[in-house]
Amino acid sequence: MLLLGACSSSPPSDAVPAVASVLRIDGNKCSWFPDAGDLCPTISMKVFPKGGTPYEAEVKARIPQIHAARVQPGASLAVLVDHKNAARVFVDVAALALPPPPPPASEAR
């Protein structure tokens, strides 16, 4: 399993969109001002890159509290993958305000 990103990291501007399925979440609250209510969990996920082989990753991401319900085991999330280094995966926080992406075909029931 890969350990990826940091709570305050930003994806590169040329990151590639992908879909991930949340496997597990271990929560923490961020403690900085002004967004002290935001969550900073470690998210274990299976990443499904378009046209690539799925792989597991672990990401520490800053999640606005208003979107916390979207980040639960079994949920599909939009993620961004560094095309130069697939080990760098980021939750697409802006996409949390949109309907979730459909689950990857290999995960659909």
From CA 84, how far away is CA 96, in angstroms rounded? 24
Global pTM? Answer: 0.81
* Any domain includes 9: yes
The whole domain housing 71 covers 2-97
From CA 26, how far away is CA 42, in angstroms rounded? 5
Q: Residue 17 is part of a domain; what is its CATH number?
A: 2.40.50
From CA 64, how far away is CA 60, in angstroms rounded? 13
State how many domains the chain has: 1
In tens, the pLDDT along 59-104 reads: 988 888 888 889 999 999 999 999 899 889 999 999 999 999 988 7
Q: What are phi and psi of 48, to 5 degrees?
A: -115, 85
Burial class (CB in 10 A: 0-12, 13-18, 19+), 20: buried
